Amino acid sequence: MPDGDPLKADLHVHSTFSDGRNTIEENVEEAEGLGLWALTCVDHVRVGTDWVPEYAAAVKRVAAETPVRLRCGIEAKLLDTSGRLDMPDDLPDGVDVVYAADHQVPMRDGTHHPREVKVDLQEGRLREHEVLEDIVTSTINALTGHRQVVIAHLFSILPKIGLDEANVPLDLIERLAEATARTGAIVEVSERWRCPSVRTLRPFLEAGATIVASTDSHRRETIGRYEYCAEVLGALGVVNGDRPAEGAG
Ligand SMILES: [Zn+2]
Ligand SMILES: [Zn+2]
């Protein structure tokens, strides 16, 4: 999917189709102004969402009128360790990519609210390793059986349940990284959530998985503005130095 400078693209931007403040047209106008070469529209769906065809058609319409490479994405939460996602069964062809997100804690028996999981961990009813294992297993299983998958803001759930990304066992991360590379999935570095870390992403790089930058913007003013992503991709050697190279590659 990515070919140009990852920091001159933004592959996770919300619009008024879900909880974004700006329309697809306004977001694309912003991307054009910044000279971005690619933008992926991403809006939140649930299993009962009925506007996906209309949304995909709107993205297609705007894509025909801009030099920015526009993709249509939907973001759905991970539901359980089977890898089920909270999205409609039948997606129109116009949807290019599915963002699998840890908005709740996906476990064997379904999603759990982060607050509950935090208390269960503190009071010893759950063990850290089990919870991490379930999150990673859910993500791995979500990579197959769907079209192009992006792992959205990987491990953004951990601070909410009182865990630190730095303590996730490397073998778990390596399993996820290998599955990501094997399935041709993509992992994003999220400016909004400031995750995943360099330590988490290194196994992805070594496995040959594609890493992209995104802001998870909900308003046009934050589109394509990177600090955390520039730092992380610089440290990984995916981009040169601490500032992105000029040009659209
Ligand atoms: Zn999200
Ligand atoms: Zn999002």
| pLDDT tens, residue by residue, 171-224 | 999 999 999 999 999 999 999 999 999 999 999 999 999 999 999 999 999 999
- Segments of the chain assigned E as strands: 9-13, 38-44, 69-77, 97-101, 105-107, 110-112, 149-152, 186-190, 210-214
Q: Is the pLDDT of residue 241 over 70?
A: no
26: exposed, middle or buried (C-beta count within 10 Å: 0-12, 13-18, 19+)?
middle
The rounded Å distance from CA 104 to ligand 1 centre is: 10
Q: What angle do CA 56, 157, 107 make, to 5 degrees?
A: 90
Q: How would residue 146 be classed by pLDDT, with cut points 50, 70 and 90?
A: confident
Please tell me the distance between residue 80's alpha carbon and the centre of ligand 2 in angstroms. Answer: 19
Evaluated on CA atoms 126, 129, 130, 136, the torsion sign reads: positive
Kindly give the distance from the C-alpha atom of residue 216 to the centroid of ligand 2, in angstroms, as a whole number: 5
Residue 128 in contact with residue 169, Cβ under 8 Å? no
Which candidate, 113, 103, 112, places its Cα nearest to that of 154?
103
In the reported structure, the alpha carbon of residue 73 is separated from the centroid of ligand 2 by a whole-number distance in angstroms of: 10
72-128 pLDDT, tens digit per residue, is 999 999 999 999 999 999 999 999 999 999 999 999 999 999 999 999 999 999 999
Task: Report the residue count for the chain.
Answer: 249
End-to-end alpha carbon distance in the chain: 13
